[in-house]
Chains A and B, each alone.
Chain A
Amino acid sequence: MTLLVPVATTRAVGRVNPVAKLLAAVILSLSLLLSIDWVSAGVALVLEAVLLGWAGLPWRAFWRRTLPLWIAAPVSVIATSLYGQDAGAVIGRAGFITVTEGSVALAFAIGLRILAVGIPGIVLFATTDPTDLADGLGQVLRLPARFVLGGLAGIRLVGLFVDDWRQLGLARRARGVADVGGPIGALKRTAGMAFALLVLSVRRGSKLATAMEAKGFGADTPRTWARPSTFGRPEYFLVALGTAIAAVSIATAIAAGTWSFVLA
């Protein structure tokens, strides 16, 4: 599960407070979700592509992590052009399927939007260590420590699921039951392993809860933090950058006359 491990980078983006990355990504995504048109999404995507060089993510890691988007975007383009709301000239027709200029335009608006919203989030979080994010959420955004650190511990434990699953499989082989019963037997064993994993997880969860209780997370006295999380110039700059991309793409779309506010 190497995708769970943050990419180490020497670029400035690696040192920026994750809360700033979160804010920048949220501002950008929300503004792009206000309209469905291809101009605003396209402009945002181009600006993001320019900034990719500073994202601290090697190309291999970039493609691997954004792979779901490159699958989701074309699929939604095809689906929307075939089944989307029809408008304008008919381009093709087959049975009850009609492809029109309107549905194609809508399809590209949606496809580009998936990429424009998805890429900055994935790229910014690829270089984010969950511990830093938790520190930021607790200290900068002042979220409750119990909630933040419980969540962090949960993320950290996801890696253990993978190990557990592997061990459970090996143990079935060691116990002499790994190759009986054909496909139905295999299905039963998978169900058994899933249940065992559930039991192990619940137990680990309650152990974690006890440990947190023992460390005083149930108390309402203010907690101190081992690693200070600061919010300074680089952080404001990143948030401003996200806001600027959003503003430019919206302004361009309005100027081009393609802007269509979803709530209007």
Chain B
Amino acid sequence: MLAQQADTLSEAGVWVPGRAPVLPARAGRTARDGALLDAVELGVGRRRGVPVADGIGARIVAGRALAVTGPNGAGKSTLALTLAGLLPEVSGELTASRVLADGAASSPIRWRSRELLTRIGTVFQDPEHQFLAGTVRDELAVGPRALRLGSRETADRVDELLERLRLDHLAGANPFTLSGGEKRRLSVATVLVARPSILVLDEPTFGQDARTWRELVALAAELLDDGSAVVAVTHDADFVDVLADDVLELGTARAHVAARRLSASRAARNPATRLQQTAASAVSGTAGARS
């Protein structure tokens, strides 16, 4: 019975056991020549002088996706918030390239809130933390308004995302009344509407149905193909397999980015293979991913 209806169920968003998620094709993973953000010996923490993880080397490159993995409490979310210019670095350095900074300071934490919008967008782990408005439509307009885009431009961007993320029938609803999947899609949309160069996602697929999962992955892949960079904190092995160009594993003695190759990524479904692969890349001493 389950086998017969597997297609229908999966289409409707049900996770069917033994059924691998349909993976969207990524056009070209050829990275543009553009490092956006460079972390050197970075230490991150919520309190000054108390790092939860340090010695992190990573490079965020346009058109490439970096997955941050590791056990609970390893400092993944703290790292994401630091890379996103929301928490000051505890030690080491985080530098924005000239292209990303675009006239602003070279350190993201010193950017004004509005300057952050078009440069680095952050999707929080809990969507409810980032909702500000009384309706879904107003929620999406917060970013464009802060950027002082015209009302037509704002409406165009909002309508496009409402449709794209299947939220158009909810435009007048209060964000807090949405379902889990709808909240997640809205929180991603509120960030995308400002068209940031880097998208930081904290556990974007956690608790999502198969359909929202596919949409999120497709959306991220599209952004990457358009030349944005994606940083995703995740426990989701499938998500890493499909999307990640580089994997940063926190919680080991010193975190290094291991570059993954596309050809190898599909073979890496077997966890053992992947472990070796990560280890091998780490041993080769890549302090930052080079494309």
CA distance A174 to B116 in the complex (A): 7
The answer to the question of A164 belonging to the interface, with a C-beta cut-off of 8 Å to chain B, is yes
Inter-chain contacts of B87 with A (CB < 8 A) = 170
The answer to the question of B84 belonging to the interface, with a C-beta cut-off of 8 Å to chain A, is yes
Query: In the complex, which of the residues B116, B124, B132 contacts A167, with contact meaning CB atoms closer than 8 Å?
Result: B124
Question: Cβ of A175 and Cβ of B142 under 8 Å apart?
Answer: yes
CA distance A82 to B189 in the complex (A): 62
CB contacts under 8 Å to B, within A154-194, are 164, 166-168, 170-180, 192
CA distance A180 to B117 in the complex (A): 13
CA distance A175 to B114 in the complex (A): 8
Inter-chain contacts of A175 with B (CB < 8 A) = 113, 117, 130, 132, 142-143, 146, 190
Inter-chain contacts of B176 with A (CB < 8 A) = 199
The answer to the question of B213 belonging to the interface, with a C-beta cut-off of 8 Å to chain A, is no
Dominant SS at the A interface? helix
The answer to the question of A208 belonging to the interface, with a C-beta cut-off of 8 Å to chain B, is no
The answer to the question of B46 belonging to the interface, with a C-beta cut-off of 8 Å to chain A, is yes
The answer to the question of A196 belonging to the interface, with a C-beta cut-off of 8 Å to chain B, is yes
The answer to the question of A51 belonging to the interface, with a C-beta cut-off of 8 Å to chain B, is no
Query: In the complex, which of the residues B112, B129, B146 contacts A171, with contact meaning CB atoms closer than 8 Å?
Result: B129
CA distance A168 to B270 in the complex (A): 39
Q: Interface size on B (CB < 8 Å)?
A: 27
Question: Cβ of A179 and Cβ of B114 under 8 Å apart?
Answer: yes
Known: A170-B87, A175-B132, A175-B190. A180 touches B146 (CB 8 A): yes
Inter-chain contacts of A179 with B (CB < 8 A) = 112-114
CA distance A174 to B132 in the complex (A): 12
Question: Cβ of A192 and Cβ of B132 under 8 Å apart?
Answer: yes
CB contacts under 8 Å to B, within A196-215, are 196, 199-200, 203
Q: List the B residue with the shortest CB-CB distance to A197.
A: B129
CB contacts under 8 Å to A, within B61-114, are 81, 84, 86-87, 112-114
CA distance A180 to B147 in the complex (A): 11
Inter-chain contacts of A171 with B (CB < 8 A) = 122, 124, 129-130
The answer to the question of B126 belonging to the interface, with a C-beta cut-off of 8 Å to chain A, is yes
CA distance A171 to B77 in the complex (A): 13
Min distance, Cβ B116 to any Cβ of chain A, angstroms: 7
CA distance A173 to B129 in the complex (A): 12
Question: Cβ of B128 and Cβ of A196 under 8 Å apart?
Answer: yes
The answer to the question of B131 belonging to the interface, with a C-beta cut-off of 8 Å to chain A, is yes
The answer to the question of B244 belonging to the interface, with a C-beta cut-off of 8 Å to chain A, is no
CA distance A203 to B128 in the complex (A): 11
The answer to the question of B45 belonging to the interface, with a C-beta cut-off of 8 Å to chain A, is no
Q: List the A residue with the shortest CB-CB distance to B142.
A: A175
Question: Cβ of B129 and Cβ of A176 under 8 Å apart?
Answer: no
Min distance, Cβ B49 to any Cβ of chain A, angstroms: 14
The answer to the question of B288 belonging to the interface, with a C-beta cut-off of 8 Å to chain A, is no
Question: Cβ of A174 and Cβ of B131 under 8 Å apart?
Answer: no
CB contacts under 8 Å to A, within B43-64, are 46
Question: Cβ of B129 and Cβ of A167 under 8 Å apart?
Answer: yes
CA distance A226 to B146 in the complex (A): 53
Inter-chain contacts of B122 with A (CB < 8 A) = 170-171, 174
Inter-chain contacts of A203 with B (CB < 8 A) = 128
Question: Cβ of B46 and Cβ of A174 under 8 Å apart?
Answer: no
Question: Cβ of A176 and Cβ of B117 under 8 Å apart?
Answer: yes
CA distance A174 to B117 in the complex (A): 7
Inter-chain contacts of A180 with B (CB < 8 A) = 113-114, 146
Question: Cβ of B86 and Cβ of A176 under 8 Å apart?
Answer: no
Min distance, Cβ A160 to any Cβ of chain B, angstroms: 11
Q: Can you list 30 residue pairs at the A/B interface with Cβ under 8 Å?
A: A167-B124, A167-B126, A170-B81, A170-B124, A171-B122, A171-B129, A171-B130, A173-B86, A173-B116, A174-B86, A174-B121, A174-B124, A175-B117, A175-B132, A175-B146, A175-B190, A176-B113, A176-B117, A176-B146, A176-B194, A177-B132, A177-B142, A179-B112, A179-B113, A180-B113, A180-B146, A196-B129, A196-B131, A199-B176, A200-B128
Interface residues of A (CB under 8 A from B): 164, 166-168, 170-180, 192, 196, 199-200, 203
Interface residues of B (CB under 8 A from A): 46, 81, 84, 86-87, 112-114, 116-117, 121-122, 124, 126, 128-132, 142-143, 146-147, 176, 190-191, 194
If A164-B129, A170-B81 are given as contacts, then 4 extra A-B residue pairs at C-beta distance below 8 Å, sorted by A number, are A171-B129, A177-B146, A192-B132, A200-B129
